[in-house]
Amino acid sequence: MAMGVAVAADLVWHLASGVAGLLLVVAVWVFYFVWWTPRQLERALRAQGLDGTSYRFPHGDRELSARLDREVHAKPMTFSHSIIPRVAPFTHRTVSQYGKISFTWAGPVPEVTITDVGLVRQLLLNMSHDFEKPKLNPLAKFFFRGVFTYEGEKWAKHRRILNPAFHMEKLKQMLPAFRTCCNDLISKWENMVGSGTCYEFDVWSDLQTFAANVISTAALGTSYEEGKRVYQIQTQQIVPFVQAAQSLNVPGSEFLPAERKKRIKALDREIRELLGSIIKKREEDIKNVKASNGNLLGLLLESTMTDSQEHGNNNAGMTIEEVIEECKLFYFAGQETSAVLLTWTMILLSMHPEWQVRAREEVLRVFGENKPDFDGLSRLKTVTMILHEVLRLYPPITFIQRHTYKTIKLGDVNYPPGVLLRLPILFFNHDPEIWGEDASEFNPERFAEGVSNACKNHQMVFFPFGGGPRNCIGQNFALMEAKMALAAILQHFSFELSPAYAHAPLIVLSLVPQHGAHLRLRRF
């Protein structure tokens, strides 16, 4: 009996010691990273002439930013393209108050917003390898990783293997899949309109489904029904991902029990099983017929096999786990980017019907009633101008971030390790100093001489897909998909805003219409 009591007491003592040790680690972490380090970084930035908000322990400016978001998102805005005060109210207020280079606080981390055009090229091109991607909360890794999040040699290896799959000649092989998905969308809308004069509905949800269908068919080489569950899971992951990405990264927090963590991990297991099964089928296809069948996954598997052979090492290519991560990234980034681009394009062409007429005239002149093909798509100058202008006014990704892991001199400022540098794409895209006094107006004509001549004095400021070596590898895929879909839609329908449409752009992960995209569709 006495021995049992002694053993129990010993266990209690060890447990108490372990808990005390963990609490000590957390306390030291909080003191160093959440109290002492932010104050040192703030002193270093202010000493060099930068201005910004003062650090508030422990959440920084997150509460104020969230409050401003709630206020502006409570109601829609007017039919204007001056969307910055609604889309990014906190950053808009900060830049207005503290200047073109100013800092705020993402928790205990200083976030320097740079809207000085002269520093863009230096940061994105000349110094691209001097920075890292921001470190996410450990739970955020369950959403996606892939080439988007990798650094150094791992990023270079994945980019090298992925590049061949996105060459224009390879993308041409995917046109039949694009065309099939477009046909499905057009058929659905024709049935909805029927014999009536018009049909009123929210195109946002249908364009999300269309983009998911394209990714399933053209990227993964499967059917929409087979890939639908992948899309559903990623949709369910968005809210917990955003919550995890915005939360403080306390050491050991990933090991603590939490309902959110359990849910994230369960969804991750399911999506890995689904993608693993699809990848296995594609591998068998390649082994049996020695061809990729024109889908992105097949091309990726061929590329990774070729890379292994060229380097004489089976480990030189990607592992199955790495391919799964790239597929998760393909699925989310490809679906989200294309859906929002097409949705905002239809909204803006409804707001500016004269450009809808011009685009349709061009499509009918190039294709008539024939299905869009690759050669014809490359001749759609007006459609291309419109897509670029939509990307300028409503970019899917509204900012780019880089993290300093060593002291970096940018302009006249030495940024110490541990600082986030933020390039707000949306602010550059709406800057009158770059685009002229009509910067917040819809004017595709500014791209008549191509992207490089749209703003002659500042050529490196239009980067809706990112800039420098780390630009989006799938931008040609997204633009080709958007051109084909828009051409098919213009061949068959005219459209206008519904009275139910509320103009309310909102950042979730990308820039989306908060209340959908309610349009009236008519057969053309």
Tell me if 288 sits within 8 A of 268, measured CB to CB: no
Compute the distance between CA of residue 211 and CA of residue 509 in angstroms, rounded to an integer: 16
CA 496, distance to chain mean position in Å, is 28
Compute the distance between CA of residue 219 and CA of residue 211 in angstroms, rounded to an integer: 11
Site of tokens 């050491």:
251
DSSP secondary structure letters along 164-227: GGGSHHHHHTTHHHHHHHHHHHHHHHHHHHTTSS-EEEEHHHHHHHHHHHHIIIIISSS-HHHH
Tell me if 434 sits within 8 A of 458, measured CB to CB: yes
CA 185, distance to chain mean position in Å, is 24
Compute the distance between CA of residue 11 and CA of residue 36 in angstroms, rounded to an integer: 36
339, 328, 331: which is closest to 208 by C-alpha? 339
The number of helices, as runs of H, and strands, as runs of E, in the chain is: 20, 12
CB burial readout 297-307, b (16+ within 10 A) else e? bbbbbbbbbeb
Tell me if 404 sits within 8 A of 421, measured CB to CB: yes
For residue 447, the SS3 value is helix
3-state SS track over 308-339: HHHCCCCCCCCCHHHHHHHHHHHHHHHHHHHH
SS3 content of the chain, % helix, strand, coil (to 5): 60, 10, 30
Give the neighbor-by-neighbor strand order of the sheet with 101-106: 51-52, 101-106, 109-114, 420-423, 400-403
DSSP state for residue 262 in the 8-state scheme: H
End-to-end CA distance of the chain: 90
Q: Which residues contact 13 (CB under 8 A, 6 or more apart)?
A: none
> Residue ranges of the alpha helices (H) in 412-474?
425-429, 432-435
- The answer to the question of whether 198 is labelled as a binding residue is no
Radius of gyration of the chain (CA): 25
| Feature table: binding site | 472
| Feature table: binding site for heme | 472
